[in-house]
């Protein structure tokens, strides 16, 4: 799977999306902190963070006995550029189809 699709796949889960937003708001946190007030266990949070880490969206650094996770914005930026490029290509294709349809009507 290419990097952009891996990012989109990781973000398609609402829990992972919430975790990523909370990490961004906090500037980083441990799985224990992120599990507070969530309907899932700390272990489930760790698994979600693992998916985000494999997608390049977060990084974990050992802080004592726990891992402290922070957001990596580079992958999000790269994916946003990929989406913008894809949208531009589709706009070009749709404009060409419109032109062909207008020529056929004339």
CB-CB neighbours of 35 under 10 Å: 18
User: 60's torsion region: left (phi>0), alpha (psi -120 to 50) or beta?
Assistant: beta
- Per-run averaged pLDDT (10 residues), the chain, 106 residues: 86 95 95 93 96 96 92 90 90 88 81
CB-CB neighbours of 10 under 10 Å: 21
Say what the pLDDT of residue 1 is: 61
Say what the pLDDT of residue 104 is: 82
Q: Which CATH class is domain 3-105?
A: mainly alpha
Could you state, in order of their start, the residue ranges of all structural domains in the chain? 3-105
């Amino acid at each position: 799977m290419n990097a952009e699709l891996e990012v989109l796949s990781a973000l398609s889960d609402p829990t992972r999306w919430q975790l990523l937003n909370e990490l961004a708001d906090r500037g980083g946190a441990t799985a224990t902190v992120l599990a507070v007030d969530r309907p899932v266990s700390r272990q489930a949070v760790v698994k979600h963070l693992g998916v985000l880490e494999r997608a390049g969206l977060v990084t974990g650094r050992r802080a004592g006995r726990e891992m402290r996770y922070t957001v990596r914005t580079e992958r999000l930026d790269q994916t946003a550029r990929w989406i913008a490029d894809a949208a531009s290509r589709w706009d070009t294709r749709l404009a060409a189809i419109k032109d062909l349809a207008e020529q056929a009507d004339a």
